[in-house]
Amino acid sequence: MKALDLKLLRDLWRIRGQALAIALVVGAATATFVMSLGVYRSLMETRDIYYERNHFADVFSGMTRAPRSIVGRIETIEGVRHAEGRIIQYATLDIPGRVESIRTVINSVGEGGETDLNRLTLVAGRGPRSSAAGEIVIDEAFADANGFAPGDEIDALIYGTRERLTVVGIGLAPDYIYAIAPGELIPDESRFGIFWMGERALEAATNRTEAINFISMTLERGASEAEVIRRLDVILAPFGGTGAYGRDDHPSNAFVDNELMQLDVMTTTIPPVFLIVSTFLVYIVLGRLISTEREQIGLLKAFGYTDGAIAWHYLKFALAISALGILIGWAAGAWMGRGMTALYTEYYRFPFLYYRISPSIFAIAALLAAGSAVLGAMGGVRTVIGLTPAIAMAPPQPPIYKTGFLERVGQKAGFTSIGHMIVRHIGRWPVRSGITVFGVALSLGLLFSTMQFLDGTNEMLEANFFRAQNQDLTVALIEAGNEEVLHNLASIPGVLRVEATRAASARLRNGHRSERVAIESASSNTRLWSRIDASGREIPLPPAGLMLSGQLAAKLDIRAGDRVEVDMLEGRRIRTQIPVVTTISEYIGSRAYADSVTLERLTRDNSPVGSALLRIDPAAREDILDELREMPIVLGVTERRATLDKFREMIDDNMITMIGFYIAFASAIVIGVVYNSARIIFSERARELATLRVLGYHKQEVGLILLGQIALLVALAVPVGCLTGYALGQSLAAAFSSDLFRLPFAPTRGTYGFSIVVVLVAAALTALIVARRVARLDMVRVLKARD
Amino acid sequence: MAETTTNRDRSTAQPAFRATGLRKTYDMGETQVHALRGVDLEIGAGEVLVLLGPSGSGKSTLLNIVGALDRPTAGQLWYEDTELTALNDHALTRFRRAHVGFIFQFYNLIPSLTAEENVRLVTDIATDPMPAAEALELVGLGDRRAHFPAQLSGGEQQRVAVARAIAKRPHVLFCDEPTGALDSKTGIKVLETLANANAELGATLIIITHNAGIAGMADRVFNFLDGRIASIEVNETRIAPSEISW
Ligand SMILES: Nc1ncnc2c1ncn2[C@@H]1O[C@H](COP(=O)(O)OP(=O)(O)OP(=O)(O)O)[C@@H](O)[C@H]1O
Ligand SMILES: [Mg+2]
């Protein structure tokens, strides 16, 4: 081995602590990159392969009822390749020992479970025979959550009649990757199942011989989806079509897309933070190393080493550190990616999960990490090249200090000599001090901006479940009913209040923009249902015209005061124009509201009850749920409490894991930054600190100089970090928002506090490790060595 | 400077330091370096002592041990009635703080502090110090108080170090080659301030030097050889620093 390389190895070994601290930050950059991009690609590939293999359709539409022959007509639409009709029927289940409402959506399938589109993949048992009454395949998540296996029987209330169903198989399908019951916000596999039943059997059970109520179709390559949807709506209008939609609006697909979008945001925001920090760390550490090795560099040059050879020597130093970081990051990223992917399989139901990180992801991660290290090394390498042998051989002059601005403040504040030492040292190396402040601030910002997601989610829950909803139960009806339903519900013992709400499907248009929505309404004297905007104000329903959520208004490019075209997809299906009176800033979904009179004018029917909101005596909950299960008109019951609990559970599962990762990441940055700054300060000041010891200062007093300086820099970093976190958090929250959710940016003081505490603790522990060196400082040795 | 006592009186007066059998061995793995091989000594209060000897003979090692910067491998050391070799680190620090001043070849000023602040470093923690400005006046640098080390010449820096050492009115001043980096004129100036401190503050003065001429200003001279005091010379009269032939 060449002597110069030996020097490299020894130098690396000598500053191994610092090298490891930097490698940790590089490792975090690599790990987040590998993890998020790896999971992103894996999830996307899994989805694409699943869609491909199981023929996931491109366009979908529901309808009240249409003859099966309509499918042939639809296939003649230009651009439609293949269409397939099915029956989709909601039903409630009666599982012994379970009081809460358990719902299912039953899909019709051909003989043995075969279909052309949205194909079922069986994981156990067999498909249902087409005309065998009661034979069903149930989805895997529901089976697991409730302990069902082939051969088990389940009692169901389908279309008003009680039936005993037999599980013959377990499977899953691409149109239910993310399965949420109507009116719910998140999946709950124990309370909502996806069933598949033979076509003839379901026709018989729902009284729809040779009829369908749902159609899916694939499109030709290059066909216009918007045009197909337009023509489809026209064809299906007489059959009660509820508005066709593409994959973008398909509930399951939209959630998967949303998740992918969020992963993509993570890939582009988090790793760069680490890369920036590692660049700066390499910059200060190599800069310091080179300045202590001026004499050696001069000597090497005097011996005839070229600038290039010496520059390469120091570049290799940076590369060696980043190589270590890359190895750490690869391993950690692959491991965390597996964990993340496992989390996804809990909420996203795939028959297989294709977790594979392609070599190109590893390679790109390594290139980025090495690139940032080289960039950081550039500053030091430039000084190496600039040194002439003569200058390099002359010992450096004592560093020149000045009294600066802080000084004058200090003088007034009565600084001790030690105070002066601290402040002047910071002022003497402003770039390095700045990098320390910036690095710690970034770490705080990163932690804060990820922690605030919890606040945002809580705020969203708070707004949705506590401020806007006052009901205990929401009772969905099989079809829109009238006052009598309300009376029946009100007469159940324990029911304290009943109110009607309704949601009518419509398509809103503004120019070429169009959105399929449900126009929601409640009785005029409602006490259980209110619209609360993001700032917590209650916004009353306008007496005439629509109120749109901010997201919907933006999608339609409509402002309050504009008129919007309404195609009703229910009732008498009228088409009209109506003013948008107000918009409301909300977190969940794109929604439209009208008061009951306005909605009735739009639907022109006489059935104002779509679902009922109930306030109940908690003691009577079980009896009420039993009673509701017996009512044929009831499609399902949603409990506010249960939804909330499920949401909380999901947050605990998901977010806590993520937050654990981010605490680790933020600590990695703090350790990397504080350890390196402290070590550099220590090595620069070792002689001074030893001198103070000689003069009779105690270890603690001398340690204070080191700790005081770090503490001052970290203290400066706290406000900077809060500002950084505020900005980063705000833009992350915005980037994470989609059609489905608008994540509020609503950080609490606790989040500021928690992030600050984590950073301070990490900084304090790291600084203490370095401060221990002060205690071990060998006065005699340090004083003997010339700088 | 009036000589009122003879040198012999001084060396036999109440001793400031007393040591028996001091040894210092550095364990270098395979080999051992015997820096001190058994040193017995007495140093009188107010005495001026010069240590001479070839490089590596153990002068600095002894000075560091007597000055409580380092511990011997074996042997005992007393300062007045205190056994220094029995003290813990904290107590040794207190001892230095209370009684001892140091001056080194390479000044060891804190570059981020001005001349006056460097002196205040000591006066801040001493019990009965002179004002920092006064100490600087004593070394003739009253007008350079606000200057940083980088703005001072080597000799001036060393005089600041002397001011820093005497400002606490120490009982002992340890000087390891205080003029090693200085020319004769500046060196003599520094030695004059040290001699003044001895005369006016009564501080015991222990000076390591390679310059045999300086030995003339001592009461006694210890000649070191190979980790031992090979011989002790007693000067009948001390010469003033200005008369030293460099
Ligand atoms: N930390 C150490 N480790 C190993 N050996 C040491 C150490 N410090 C000093 N020595 C050895 O102890 C011996 C005495 O050293 P010391 O510094 O006391 O000599 P000195 O008389 O002051 O020499 P000089 O005139 O060159 O300053 C030398 O042989 C030296 O190599
Ligand atoms: Mg020496």
Q: Give me A162's structure tokens.
A: 């009680």
**B228 close to ligand 1 (CB < 6 Angstrom):** no
Give dist(CA B188, CA A582) in Å, integer: 93
> Tokens 């070599």 sit at which residue?
A359
**Mean pLDDT of successive 10-residue stretches along chain A, which has 787 residues:** 78 88 90 90 92 96 93 94 94 87 93 93 93 91 94 89 93 93 82 94 91 95 93 92 92 90 85 88 88 78 78 91 95 89 82 86 94 91 78 59 62 68 83 90 91 86 79 85 86 91 89 89 82 80 88 90 90 88 84 88 79 91 88 84 83 77 86 89 85 86 88 94 93 84 87 93 92 81 62
Nearest ligand to the CA of B22 is: 1
Per-residue model confidence (pLDDT) at position A389:
66
Q: Are A779 and B69 in contact (CB < 8 Å)? A: yes
Ligand 1: residue of B24, B30, B39, B59 to mutate (most ligand atoms within 8 A of CB) is B59
Q: Name chain B contacts of A684, Cβ cutoff 8 Å.
A: none
Nearest ligand to the CA of B54 is: 1
The string of pLDDT tens digits covering residues B52-89 is: 999 999 999 999 899 888 889 999 999 998 999 999 88
Q: State which ligand 1 atom lies nearest to the alpha carbon of B33.
A: 5
Whether the Cβ atoms of residue A527 and residue A499 lie closer than 8 Å to each other: yes
Q: Give me B69's structure tokens.
A: 């910067």
Per-residue model confidence (pLDDT) at position A787:
45
Protein residue with its CA nearest to atom 26 in ligand 1 = B55
pLDDT at B171 over 80: yes
Whether the Cβ atoms of residue B175 and residue B103 lie closer than 8 Å to each other: yes
Task: Over range B158-162, report the average pLDDT.
Answer: 89
Q: How many CA atoms lie within 13 A of A751 on its CB side?
A: 24
Give dist(CA A259, CA A50) in Å, integer: 16
- Phi, psi values for residue A625, rounded to 5°: -60, -40
B104 at the A interface (CB within 8 A)?
yes
Protein residue with its CA nearest to atom 29 in ligand 1 = B56
**B149 close to ligand 1 (CB < 6 Angstrom):** no
- Within the 667-726 window of chain A, which residues sit less than 8 Å (CB to CB) from chain B? 687-688, 691-699
Give dist(CA A700, CA A437) in Å, integer: 24
Q: Are A780 and B102 in contact (CB < 8 Å)? A: no
Residue A137 β-bridge partners:
A169, A196
Give dist(CA B177, CA B139) in Å, integer: 18
DSSP output for A77-121: STTEEEEEEE-EEEEEEE-TT--S-EEEEEEEE-GGG--SSS--E
The string of pLDDT tens digits covering residues B1-59 is: 334 444 444 444 578 899 999 999 988 878 889 999 999 999 999 999 999 999 999 99
Q: Are A695 and B149 in contact (CB < 8 Å)? A: no
- Phi, psi values for residue B234, rounded to 5°: -115, 125
Per-residue model confidence (pLDDT) at position B59:
92
- State pTM to two decimals: 0.79
Q: Are A399 and B125 in contact (CB < 8 Å)? A: no
The sheet that has B74-79: what strands, in order across it? B31-44, B15-28, B74-79, B82-83
Whether the Cβ atoms of residue A668 and residue A29 lie closer than 8 Å to each other: no
DSSP output for B59-120: HHHHHHHHTTSS--SEEEEEETTEEGGG--HHHHHHHHHHHEEEE-TT----TTS-HHHHHH
Per-residue model confidence (pLDDT) at position B189:
85
Protein residue with its CA nearest to atom 7 in ligand 1 = B26
Provide the shortest C-alpha distance from residue B2 to chain A (in Å): 31
Residue B176 β-bridge partners:
B208
Kind and range of the H or E run holding A176: none
pLDDT at B184 over 90: no
b/e per residue A403-439 (b: at least 16 CB within 10 A): beebbeebeeeebebbbbbbbbbbbbbeebbebbbbb
Per-residue model confidence (pLDDT) at position A391:
60
A407 at the B interface (CB within 8 A)?
no
b/e per residue A654-687 (b: at least 16 CB within 10 A): bbeebbebbbebbbbbbbbbbbbbbbbbbebbbb
Q: Name chain B contacts of A706, Cβ cutoff 8 Å.
A: none
- Within the 138-197 window of chain B, which residues sit less than 8 Å (CB to CB) from chain A? 148-150, 164
Per-residue model confidence (pLDDT) at position B3:
40
**B59 close to ligand 1 (CB < 6 Angstrom):** yes
Options 3.40.640.10, 3.40.50.300, 3.40.710.10, 3.40.50.720; which CATH number does B45-71+88-236 get?
3.40.50.300
Q: Could you tell me the CA-to-CA distances from A77 to A115, A216, A240, A491, A515 in Å, in that order?
A: 21, 13, 19, 51, 22
Asked whether the CA dihedral A14, A16, A18, A19 is positive or negative, the reply is positive
The domains of chain B are located at: 45-71+88-236
Per-residue model confidence (pLDDT) at position B204:
93
Whether the Cβ atoms of residue B59 and residue B51 lie closer than 8 Å to each other: yes
**B56 close to ligand 1 (CB < 6 Angstrom):** yes
B113 at the A interface (CB within 8 A)?
yes
Q: Are A696 and B121 in contact (CB < 8 Å)? A: no
**A366 burial class (0-12, 13-18, 19+ CB within 10 angstroms)?**
buried
Kind and range of the H or E run holding A172: strand A161-172
Asked whether the CA dihedral A105, A106, A109, A112 is positive or negative, the reply is positive
Whether the Cβ atoms of residue A125 and residue A170 lie closer than 8 Å to each other: yes
**Helix, strand, coil percentages, rounded to 5, for chain B:** 35, 30, 35
Q: Are A696 and B104 in contact (CB < 8 Å)? A: no
